[in-house]
Amino acid sequence: MVRVGGRVAWPVCVVSLSLVAVGAVLALGNGTDARALGHLPFVAVCAVVAAVIETGRPGNAVGRLLALGGFSFALMEACGEYALYRPGTALGTVLAWPQTWLWVPANTAFALIPPLLPDGRAPSRRWRPVVIAVVAAAGVTAMLGSLRPGVNTQVGAGVVNPLGVPALAGAAAVAEAAFTALLGVVFAGGAIPLVVRAVRATPPSGAGCGGSPTSRRSTPPSWPGGSPPGWPTAIPGRCGRAAAMCGSSPGPSAWHWCPWRSARPCCASVPCSR
């Protein structure tokens, strides 16, 4: 799986980086200030990180979303800048259209990343209908955006949509505004709990790895299959990284709940050193 993931991920990364370079060159040729291209390094970094994740963790949704977002933004930039560079030509007219809808999958991909960190899975089943609703809304918004008439300013000064339908102007404007607000809510809804978990997983200064004294127990909680065999200082498998924060000498009054959600099913508690 690693080989397959790498074979697909790195070519996509190279294509995205090439599109970023083409977009930057065309933008400078169009007279764009270099300071206005500060978003392009971010797109390039996303493409590289996506390839690294897909190589090391094939199938992880975070890597694939980064790849989708980076590629969509890179393609939108290259197409839009060429349309500005060669306005009125046949190819320039054709390439003026993708930027009217490519911003939708790009922003959708980045908005869905926080709820899926760190293992690429939703934190609970309640997120599944949210993800489905966002994807459905993205499809509708992209369709209406691709037919919205007038000048589209996603890239540079903007170009006229060659496939614009005047009757859909109002519906497209409402859909884009509502969808943008929805993505903001989804991003915040995934990022805030992530920050809270990170803060709770960090023990207070001077309190030891078990946190505050009130969070410790004098006896360990129930152990599957009976009492634990002694006081282990590490638990194999996925619990190992949770136990790694503990010291080498166990203490019976320093049991605490694992802060990592991925470790909870196999690690109800970890003995920590005082």
Report the C-alpha gap between 108 and 131 in whole angstroms. Answer: 10
Give the end of a domain, one of 201, 221, 252. Answer: 201
Structure-derived torsion over alpha carbons of residues 21, 60, 10, 44, reported in degrees to the nearest 10 = 20
For residue 225, pLDDT over 70 is answered with: no
81-133 pLDDT, tens digit per residue, is 999 999 989 999 999 999 999 999 999 999 999 989 888 888 788 888 999 99
Give the end of a domain, one of 161, 183, 201. Answer: 201
Give the end of a domain, one of 201, 235, 255. Answer: 201
> Same domain for 33 and 166?
yes
> Same domain for 196 and 251?
no
> Same domain for 33 and 164?
yes
Q: Which of 162, 185, 161 is nearest to 173 (CA)?
A: 161
> Same domain for 213 and 103?
no
165-178 pLDDT, tens digit per residue, is 999 999 999 999 99
Report the C-alpha gap between 164 and 146 in whole angstroms. Answer: 7
> Same domain for 125 and 214?
no
Q: Which domain holds residue 90?
A: 2-201
Most confident listed range (58-62, 170-174, 192-196, 233-237): 170-174
> Same domain for 139 and 52?
yes
Q: Please state which of the ranges 25-29, 65-69, 110-114, 154-158 shows the lowest mean pLDDT.
A: 154-158
For residue 46, pLDDT over 50 is answered with: yes
pTM over 0.75: no
Contact 159, 84 (CB under 8 A): yes
> Same domain for 62 and 190?
yes
> Same domain for 171 and 109?
yes
> Same domain for 69 and 190?
yes
- Domains in the chain, number: 2
